[in-house]
Amino acid sequence: MTLGRLYGELKGAVRVALITGFALLGGCTTYVQTQVAAFSDWSGTDATRTYAFERSAQQQNSIEQKTYEALAANELATHSFKQVPDASANYRVELSYSIRGDMVTVRQPVYYDPWPMYGGWYGRPYGWGGYGGWGPWGGWDMGPTGYVDQSYPIFVHSLQIRMTERESGREVYKVTASNSGGESSLVRAMPYLIRSALADFPLGNGTVRTVKIPLDKTGGVGNEAPVAVGANEKAAAPAPGPAPVPVQ
Protein backbone atom coordinates (compact mmCIF):
# COMPACT_ATOMS: atom_id res chain seq x y z
CA MET A 1 0.00 0.00 0.00
CA THR A 2 1.44 3.37 -1.05
CA LEU A 3 1.40 6.49 1.11
CA GLY A 4 -0.79 8.17 -1.49
CA ARG A 5 -3.41 5.41 -1.38
CA LEU A 6 -3.36 5.33 2.40
CA TYR A 7 -3.78 9.11 2.44
CA GLY A 8 -6.85 8.78 0.26
CA GLU A 9 -8.43 6.24 2.59
CA LEU A 10 -7.62 8.35 5.62
CA LYS A 11 -9.21 11.44 4.11
CA GLY A 12 -12.59 9.73 4.12
CA ALA A 13 -12.14 8.56 7.69
CA VAL A 14 -11.21 12.08 8.74
CA ARG A 15 -14.73 13.30 8.01
CA VAL A 16 -16.16 10.92 10.57
CA ALA A 17 -13.46 11.87 13.05
CA LEU A 18 -14.24 15.55 12.75
CA ILE A 19 -17.96 15.06 13.17
CA THR A 20 -17.40 13.12 16.40
CA GLY A 21 -15.04 15.79 17.72
CA PHE A 22 -11.74 13.89 17.32
CA ALA A 23 -8.54 15.95 17.15
CA LEU A 24 -5.02 14.52 17.20
CA LEU A 25 -3.59 16.23 20.26
CA GLY A 26 -6.23 18.53 21.56
CA GLY A 27 -9.08 19.00 23.97
CA CYS A 28 -10.44 15.97 25.77
CA THR A 29 -9.08 13.38 23.36
CA THR A 30 -7.78 10.44 25.36
CA TYR A 31 -5.91 8.61 22.63
CA VAL A 32 -4.35 8.99 19.18
CA GLN A 33 -5.54 6.64 16.46
CA THR A 34 -3.05 5.60 13.75
CA GLN A 35 -3.54 3.54 10.61
CA VAL A 36 -0.78 0.94 10.09
CA ALA A 37 0.05 -1.26 7.09
CA ALA A 38 2.93 -3.77 7.15
CA PHE A 39 4.70 -5.98 4.60
CA SER A 40 6.98 -8.64 6.03
CA ASP A 41 9.49 -11.28 5.00
CA TRP A 42 10.99 -11.34 8.47
CA SER A 43 12.95 -14.40 9.62
CA GLY A 44 15.51 -12.84 11.95
CA THR A 45 16.11 -13.86 15.55
CA ASP A 46 16.90 -11.79 18.63
CA ALA A 47 20.58 -12.73 18.32
CA THR A 48 20.85 -11.10 14.88
CA ARG A 49 18.90 -7.90 15.54
CA THR A 50 21.77 -5.46 15.01
CA TYR A 51 21.16 -2.46 12.78
CA ALA A 52 22.38 0.90 11.55
CA PHE A 53 20.32 3.75 10.15
CA GLU A 54 20.58 4.46 6.46
CA ARG A 55 20.03 8.03 5.27
CA SER A 56 19.24 9.65 1.96
CA ALA A 57 21.48 12.44 0.69
CA GLN A 58 19.03 15.05 2.04
CA GLN A 59 19.01 13.41 5.48
CA GLN A 60 22.77 13.18 5.98
CA ASN A 61 23.22 16.35 8.03
CA SER A 62 19.65 16.79 9.22
CA ILE A 63 19.02 17.51 12.91
CA GLU A 64 15.38 16.55 12.35
CA GLN A 65 16.49 13.16 11.03
CA LYS A 66 18.69 12.56 14.08
CA THR A 67 15.79 13.44 16.36
CA TYR A 68 13.49 10.91 14.72
CA GLU A 69 16.22 8.27 14.65
CA ALA A 70 16.65 8.63 18.41
CA LEU A 71 12.92 8.04 18.90
CA ALA A 72 13.00 5.02 16.60
CA ALA A 73 16.10 3.61 18.33
CA ASN A 74 14.35 3.74 21.71
CA GLU A 75 11.37 1.85 20.33
CA LEU A 76 13.48 -0.67 18.43
CA ALA A 77 15.35 -1.44 21.65
CA THR A 78 12.10 -2.71 23.16
CA HIS A 79 12.14 -5.39 20.44
CA SER A 80 15.74 -6.49 21.16
CA PHE A 81 17.33 -4.40 18.41
CA LYS A 82 20.80 -3.04 19.04
CA GLN A 83 22.25 -0.09 17.14
CA VAL A 84 25.83 -0.73 15.97
CA PRO A 85 28.26 0.73 13.39
CA ASP A 86 27.18 0.08 9.82
CA ALA A 87 30.04 -2.34 9.09
CA SER A 88 28.87 -4.77 11.79
CA ALA A 89 25.10 -4.36 11.35
CA ASN A 90 22.90 -7.15 10.05
CA TYR A 91 20.16 -4.73 9.03
CA ARG A 92 19.78 -1.20 7.75
CA VAL A 93 16.80 0.87 8.86
CA GLU A 94 15.48 3.73 6.73
CA LEU A 95 12.99 6.36 7.88
CA SER A 96 10.90 8.44 5.51
CA TYR A 97 8.19 10.83 6.63
CA SER A 98 5.92 13.63 5.51
CA ILE A 99 3.14 15.99 6.57
CA ARG A 100 0.36 17.17 4.27
CA GLY A 101 -2.19 19.89 4.90
CA ASP A 102 -5.73 19.86 3.58
CA MET A 103 -9.19 21.29 4.24
CA VAL A 104 -12.16 19.11 5.05
CA THR A 105 -15.72 20.41 4.66
CA VAL A 106 -18.46 18.97 6.86
CA ARG A 107 -22.17 19.71 6.39
CA GLN A 108 -23.81 20.62 9.70
CA PRO A 109 -27.57 20.87 10.39
CA VAL A 110 -29.02 24.20 11.56
CA TYR A 111 -32.01 24.01 13.93
CA TYR A 112 -34.77 26.48 14.65
CA ASP A 113 -33.91 28.98 17.39
CA PRO A 114 -36.93 29.84 19.60
CA TRP A 115 -34.89 32.58 21.34
CA PRO A 116 -33.16 34.52 18.53
CA MET A 117 -31.87 37.15 20.96
CA TYR A 118 -29.39 34.52 22.24
CA GLY A 119 -27.98 33.71 18.81
CA GLY A 120 -28.29 30.68 16.59
CA TRP A 121 -27.33 27.17 17.62
CA TYR A 122 -26.42 23.88 15.99
CA GLY A 123 -27.34 20.37 16.96
CA ARG A 124 -29.42 19.38 19.97
CA PRO A 125 -27.60 20.23 23.17
CA TYR A 126 -27.88 18.19 26.36
CA GLY A 127 -29.91 15.48 24.63
CA TRP A 128 -33.06 17.62 24.35
CA GLY A 129 -33.84 15.91 21.04
CA GLY A 130 -34.94 12.86 23.03
CA TYR A 131 -38.10 14.70 24.11
CA GLY A 132 -39.13 15.38 20.50
CA GLY A 133 -40.85 18.63 19.58
CA TRP A 134 -39.59 20.33 22.76
CA GLY A 135 -41.00 17.56 24.93
CA PRO A 136 -43.49 18.94 27.44
CA TRP A 137 -43.63 22.28 25.64
CA GLY A 138 -44.46 20.63 22.30
CA GLY A 139 -45.73 22.33 19.19
CA TRP A 140 -42.44 23.13 17.45
CA ASP A 141 -40.79 20.98 14.84
CA MET A 142 -37.28 20.15 16.09
CA GLY A 143 -36.00 19.04 12.71
CA PRO A 144 -33.19 21.01 11.03
CA THR A 145 -34.22 24.16 9.18
CA GLY A 146 -31.25 23.90 6.87
CA TYR A 147 -27.60 22.99 6.57
CA VAL A 148 -24.35 24.91 6.52
CA ASP A 149 -20.93 23.78 5.28
CA GLN A 150 -18.08 24.29 7.72
CA SER A 151 -14.44 23.81 6.69
CA TYR A 152 -11.66 22.61 8.99
CA PRO A 153 -7.87 22.40 8.47
CA ILE A 154 -6.57 18.86 8.64
CA PHE A 155 -2.99 17.54 8.65
CA VAL A 156 -1.99 14.02 7.63
CA HIS A 157 1.26 12.77 9.19
CA SER A 158 2.97 9.75 7.63
CA LEU A 159 5.97 7.60 8.50
CA GLN A 160 7.53 4.64 6.72
CA ILE A 161 10.12 2.36 8.32
CA ARG A 162 11.98 0.08 5.94
CA MET A 163 14.40 -2.69 6.98
CA THR A 164 16.82 -4.38 4.61
CA GLU A 165 19.61 -6.93 5.02
CA ARG A 166 22.88 -5.02 4.88
CA GLU A 167 24.83 -7.62 2.89
CA SER A 168 22.18 -8.64 0.35
CA GLY A 169 20.05 -5.50 0.23
CA ARG A 170 16.93 -7.68 0.50
CA GLU A 171 13.90 -5.94 1.94
CA VAL A 172 12.64 -7.85 4.97
CA TYR A 173 10.17 -5.46 6.58
CA LYS A 174 8.29 -2.31 5.61
CA VAL A 175 5.63 -0.63 7.70
CA THR A 176 3.69 2.56 7.08
CA ALA A 177 1.88 4.55 9.77
CA SER A 178 -0.41 7.54 9.21
CA ASN A 179 -2.62 9.64 11.44
CA SER A 180 -4.47 12.90 11.05
CA GLY A 181 -5.93 15.81 12.97
CA GLY A 182 -5.50 19.48 13.71
CA GLU A 183 -1.87 19.16 14.84
CA SER A 184 0.36 20.99 12.34
CA SER A 185 3.67 19.78 13.81
CA LEU A 186 5.20 16.54 12.54
CA VAL A 187 7.61 16.39 15.47
CA ARG A 188 4.71 16.18 17.94
CA ALA A 189 3.04 13.45 15.90
CA MET A 190 6.21 11.38 15.41
CA PRO A 191 6.25 9.54 18.78
CA TYR A 192 2.76 8.19 18.05
CA LEU A 193 3.72 7.20 14.51
CA ILE A 194 6.83 5.32 15.62
CA ARG A 195 5.17 3.50 18.52
CA SER A 196 2.23 2.51 16.33
CA ALA A 197 4.44 1.36 13.46
CA LEU A 198 6.56 -0.89 15.67
CA ALA A 199 3.85 -2.18 18.01
CA ASP A 200 3.77 -6.01 18.05
CA PHE A 201 6.81 -6.25 15.75
CA PRO A 202 7.00 -8.15 13.47
CA LEU A 203 3.49 -8.06 12.02
CA GLY A 204 2.42 -10.59 9.42
CA ASN A 205 2.73 -9.82 5.74
CA GLY A 206 -0.15 -7.67 4.50
CA THR A 207 -1.40 -6.66 7.94
CA VAL A 208 -3.62 -3.56 7.98
CA ARG A 209 -4.87 -2.30 11.33
CA THR A 210 -5.66 0.68 13.52
CA VAL A 211 -3.54 1.30 16.63
CA LYS A 212 -4.70 3.46 19.55
CA ILE A 213 -2.15 5.05 21.90
CA PRO A 214 -3.39 6.76 25.08
CA LEU A 215 -2.44 10.32 25.96
CA ASP A 216 -1.09 11.14 29.40
CA LYS A 217 -2.49 13.95 31.55
CA THR A 218 -0.17 16.54 29.99
CA GLY A 219 -1.14 15.63 26.43
CA GLY A 220 2.03 13.62 25.77
CA VAL A 221 2.42 9.95 24.92
CA GLY A 222 0.95 7.73 27.62
CA ASN A 223 2.86 4.86 29.21
CA GLU A 224 0.19 2.30 28.39
CA ALA A 225 0.94 -0.17 25.61
CA PRO A 226 -0.47 0.57 22.15
CA VAL A 227 -3.69 -1.33 21.47
CA ALA A 228 -4.74 -2.66 18.08
CA VAL A 229 -8.40 -2.24 17.17
CA GLY A 230 -9.49 -5.74 16.26
CA ALA A 231 -12.28 -4.70 13.88
CA ASN A 232 -9.72 -3.21 11.46
CA GLU A 233 -7.26 -6.10 11.62
CA LYS A 234 -6.69 -7.76 8.23
CA ALA A 235 -3.69 -10.03 7.80
CA ALA A 236 -2.70 -11.83 4.61
CA ALA A 237 -0.56 -14.20 6.67
CA PRO A 238 -0.49 -15.08 10.39
CA ALA A 239 1.65 -12.70 12.42
CA PRO A 240 4.65 -14.42 14.04
CA GLY A 241 4.55 -11.94 16.93
CA PRO A 242 1.96 -11.52 19.72
CA ALA A 243 -1.63 -11.20 18.62
CA PRO A 244 -3.15 -7.70 18.92
CA VAL A 245 -5.53 -7.04 21.81
CA PRO A 246 -8.99 -5.96 20.59
CA VAL A 247 -10.66 -2.93 22.18
CA GLN A 248 -13.84 -3.84 24.06
Q: Mind listing the pLDDT tens digit for each residue in 44-63?
A: 778 889 999 999 999 999 99
Look up residue 133 and give its DSSP letter.
T
> Which stretches of the chain score pLDDT less than 70?
1-29, 112-142, 217-225, 230-248
Number of alpha helices (DSSP H) and beta strands (DSSP E) in the chain: 3, 8
User: What is the model's pLDDT at position 116?
Assistant: 58
Whole-angstrom distance, CA of residue 154 vs CA of residue 182: 5
User: What is the model's pLDDT at position 172?
Assistant: 97
| Top CATH class, 3-105+151-234 | alpha beta
User: Which is it for the CA torsion 15, 29, 78, 51, positive or negative?
Assistant: positive
Inter-CA distances, 14 with 1, 155, 180, 243, Å: 19, 10, 7, 27
User: Which is it for the CA torsion 53, 58, 60, 64, positive or negative?
Assistant: negative
Query: To the nearest whole percent, how much of the chain has pLDDT over 70?
Result: 64
